Amino acid sequence: MLRGRSLSVTSLSGLPVWEAERLPVEDLLLFEVSWEVTNKVGGIYTVIQTKAKTTADEWGENYFLIGPYFEHNMKTQVEQCEPINDAVRRAMDAMNKHGCQVYFGRWLIEGSPYVVLFDISSSAWNLDRWKGDFWEACGVGIPHHDREANDMLIFGSLTAWFLKEVTDHADGKHVIAQFHEWQAGTGLVLSRARKLPIATIFTTHATLLGRYLCAANIDFYNQLDKFDIDKEAGERQIYHRYCMERASVHCTHVFTTVSEITAIEAEHMLKRKPDVVTPNGLNVKKFSAVHEFQNLHAMYKARIQDFVRGHFYGHLDFDLEKTLFLFIAGRYEFSNKGADIFLESLSRLNFLLRMHKSNVTVVVFFIMPAKTNNFNVETLKGQAVRKQLWDTVHSMKEKFGKKLYDGLLRGEIPDMNSILDRDDITIMKRAIFSTQRQSLPPVTTHNMIDDSTDPILSTIRRIGLFNNRADRVKVILHPEFLSSTSPLLPMDYEEFVRGCHLGVFPSYYEPWGYTPAECTVMGIPSVTTNLSGFGCFMQEHVADPTAYGIYIVDRRFRSPDDSCNQLTQFLYGFCKQSRRQRIIQRNRTERLSDLLDWRYLGRYYQHARHLTLSRAFPDKFHLEPISPPTTDGFRYPRPSSVPPSPSGSQTSSPQSSDVEDEGDEDERYDEEEEAERDRLNIKSPFSLNHVPKGKKKLHGEYKS
């Protein structure tokens, strides 16, 4: 009989996790299976990569990740080595003897976890036989033309084979296997069909059919109980994939998902209620200097300003010190990611700013990769003009400085006419003429392959945001991921986010939402929705999210037009903030980062592992039954200083960003006192099985 040892887990900032039985990790092996191990496809890569250090610290040499082998990824991300664990080594040897190619090493990320990678192509000759095995296991057939599904079957078959070999040589150690998404689910189904002695967890980060339905502009969340699931999946030719996903859900010991909103979706789409909700986290790194992130914001904002100077050359009639940088980033899913409602809100925001004759300018970046030919010539020219002008000014500055220096040494105050000769004036005039431009600044930085039907460009044409001089809202579509090696905007994504003022992610379908979470950790305010896992999570944890720079748009219980108006008011209110108010808000936003640390959120995964062991091996593990960690009573309060939104304390027309508010507001705000109050609140004890009195709030319900 194995028994866990009691342990009180404490997370970052002294945050109590919950009293539970500690897993005897020395007697266990933990495997996490995903198609995105060392292989970046989407957000699951970020989940696994950021969680690896926390899990490796807890499990040590008994933690392994399983994924596909790709030569380029292996060369750049993995350091090959020999497995220390005897069961893993013998499993690899057995598979390699039968013609498979299995690779082992350390993934070169924080935590350096072990990875086991399978070469799919070397085992493709087994595909027909494995299709038969899968049919016998669950009655699901996979068509030959769906290459992705075929690859997933090969990957899953290799995973199940590997886990069988491991359990055969585990020497009494028990195995936990966690499978992420339907791509890894075939390995789970086959393992359970073969009655392997393993405890299984299946995690869905988004339902397959849910993503398809939301992309079709259907009122998804209000019709969840009305869909004919089989019919919808069949019409979209993904019925076999849906069956693979659903089979995985019903075969696993413990079913988890990443947010409450996705749990509701999964219950209707996959016909099983998740056992545990496991929110996604990040590795939060605190700076030794409290306000270092504010300094980084100023530094990277200056680099974005340089890009804007070049992009808008000839039309730079707005003050960059009174300009706000907003952005949206992610996969190019026009409706799911909320780009449609964002553009409509920008049109309304432009009208409000012009009507109030505001001197605030808003520059909005769309960082969404699409098919392009290359950089836009006009955009490259703008950056070349800016650099040329800078070089000209720099050379003239040195010349002027030398003349001024010589004059002062002689005890004279130089005459400007003697410092500026005719040639210098000619050079300056030519520089001015070089910045003239007849066309408007481009709305996209690249040549789009299909710009006539591109959803973002088509909407821009409809609403008329062409970067005219009179427009207070300027739009730039950057259809490519950011890179520090780009000749256009040489910044990494993290640097770019730190330099912006606000991230806007009004998604309709967002099971979690890493983009607003990353903004929060960097101290950048963001807009999210009550249909995103992140938005629901913040509503549960923070009494007044807006006060902490988390603006939550209601897209579930309001009409699209009302949601658009609400987003417009959020943006307009943000434009009305003074520079000081934005600084205060960034301080508050950054303090929420503790909530998103894996050292805090990892407790939900611990609970799932407890649960799966007690279900898979009830006669061997007598772990005390524990309730899922709850957060009732754990909520940041509304700060007593500085109103949560500018609308309650400011004039109707936006103020310039460099105006410092004076008077009572400054006296009321005490950064140290407020930060200490938040630290005390985050240490509030968590209650278990506590149900608040009164009416239970609907999942994702918006708090006005």
pLDDT at 689: 34
Task: Name the β-bridge partners of 104.
Answer: 116
User: 254: burial class by Cβ within 10 Å (0-12, 13-18, 19+)?
Assistant: buried
Give pLDDT tens digits for 537-550: 999 999 889 999 99
Burial 264-300 (b: 16+ CB within 10 A, else e): bbbbbbbeeebbbbbbbbbbbeeeeeeeebbebbeeb
How high is the mean pLDDT of the chain?
A: 86
Task: Name the β-bridge partners of 200.
Answer: 177
In angstroms, the CA 687 to CA 692 distance is: 11
pLDDT at 427: 82
Pick 126 or 432 by higher pLDDT: 126
The mean pLDDT value for 368-388 works out to 91
CA angle 282, 284, 285 (to 5 degrees): 150
pLDDT at 639: 67
Pick 640 or 334 by higher pLDDT: 334
**One-letter amino acid for residue 354 of the chain:** R
In sequence order, what DSSP letters do the residues of 614-678 get, joined into one string? Answer: HHH-TTTB-PPP-PPP--TT--BPPPSSS-SSGGGTS-SSPPPTTPPP-SHHHHH--HHHHHHHH
Give pLDDT tens digits for 421-469: 788 788 888 888 888 888 999 999 999 998 999 999 999 999 999 999 9
Residue 624 pLDDT greater than 80, yes or no: no
Q: Where are the beta strands (DSSP E) in 361-472?
A: 361-367, 372-375, 446-448
Pick 639 or 484 by higher pLDDT: 484
pLDDT at 182: 95
311: closest CA among 511, 446, 507, 125?
446
The mean pLDDT value for 277-296 works out to 83
Residue 329 pLDDT greater than 50, yes or no: yes
Pick 178 or 387 by higher pLDDT: 178
The CATH fold assigned to 291-376+442-595 is Rossmann fold (3.40.50)
Q: How many CB atoms are closer than 10 A to CB 402?
A: 11
Give pLDDT tens digits for 300-322: 999 999 999 999 998 998 999 99
Torsion-angle region of residue 325: left (phi > 0), alpha (psi -120 to 50) or beta?
A: beta
CATH superfamily of 25-277: Glycogen Phosphorylase B; (3.40.50.2000)
Residue 634 pLDDT greater than 70, yes or no: no
Structure tokens at 160: 């199940």
Q: Are 195 and 224 in contact (CB under 8 A)?
A: no
pLDDT at 629: 53
In angstroms, the CA 238 to CA 145 distance is: 12
In angstroms, the CA 699 to CA 222 distance is: 12
Q: pLDDT class for 674, splitting at 50, 70, 90?
A: confident
The mean pLDDT value for 515-526 works out to 95
Radius of gyration of the chain (CA): 28
Pick 253 or 395 by higher pLDDT: 253
Q: Are 444 and 376 in contact (CB under 8 A)?
A: yes
The mean pLDDT value for 242-246 works out to 97
The mean pLDDT value for 252-266 works out to 95
Listed in sequence order, the residues at least 6 apart from 282 whose beta carbon sits closer than 8 Å to its beta carbon are 50, 514, 517, 518, 521, 593, 596, 597, 598
In angstroms, the CA 123 to CA 96 distance is: 11
pLDDT at 238: 95
Pick 660 or 589 by higher pLDDT: 589
Per mean pLDDT, which range of 249-253, 551-555, 647-651, 681-685 is the poorest? 647-651
pLDDT at 398: 84
Per mean pLDDT, which range of 170-184, 234-248, 680-694 is the poorest? 680-694
Percent of the chain with pLDDT over 90: 69
